[in-house]
Amino acid sequence: MLLLCNYYVTYRCNAYCEFCHFAEHGKFKNTPQATLSDFQSNVDQLAKLGVKFIDLTGGEPLLNIDIAEMTAFAKSKKMQTSITTNTLLYSKFADKLAGNVNLLHFSLDSPDEEEHNNIRKINCFNSVLESVEIAKSLGEYPDILFTVTNETYKKLPRRHELASSKGLVLLVNPVFSYFGNPGLSDEAMYFIEEYVNGKMDVYLNPAFIKLRRNGGNHIKDPLCKAVSRVMVISPMNEIILPCYHFENDKILIDRPIKEIQKSEKYKYFLKMEGRFDFCEGCTVNCYFEPSFAFPTNLYGLASVTSKFKYGYNKLIKQKMKKINK
Q: What is the pLDDT of residues 164-212, one digit of tens each?
A: 999 899 999 988 876 556 678 999 999 999 999 989 899 999 999 999 9
Q: How far is it, in rounded angstroms, from Cα 325 to Cα 322?
A: 5
For 94, the enclosing helix (H) or strand (E) is helix 90-97
Put simply, whether the predicted model's pTM sits higher than 0.85 gets the answer: yes
Supply the DSSP string of 194-247, one letter for each residue: HHHTT-TTEE--HHHHHHHHTTS--TTS----TTTTEEEE-TTSEEEES-STT-
Q: Is the pLDDT of residue 234 over 80?
A: yes
Q: Is the pLDDT of residue 325 over 60?
A: no
Q: Is the pLDDT of residue 282 over 70?
A: yes
Q: How far is it, in rounded angstroms, from Cα 266 to Cα 314?
A: 36
Per CATH, the architecture of 4-324 is what?
A: Alpha-Beta Barrel (3.20)
Cis peptide leading into residue 242 (ω within 30°): yes
Among 117, 180, 191, which Cα is nearest to 148's?
191
**Contact 8/232 with Cβ under 8 angstroms?**
yes
Selected residue with higher pLDDT from 175 and 85: 85
Q: Is the pLDDT of residue 251 over 70?
A: yes
Q: Where are the domains of the chain?
A: 4-324
Q: Is residue 20 helix, strand or coil?
A: coil
Q: Is residue 104 helix, strand or coil?
A: strand
Task: Check residue 121 and give its pLDDT.
Answer: 83
- Burial letters for 288-307: b for 16+ Cβ neighbours within 10 Å, e otherwise? bbbbbbeeeeebbebbeebb
Q: What is the pLDDT of residues 115-150, one digit of tens each?
A: 988 888 889 999 999 999 999 999 999 999 998 989
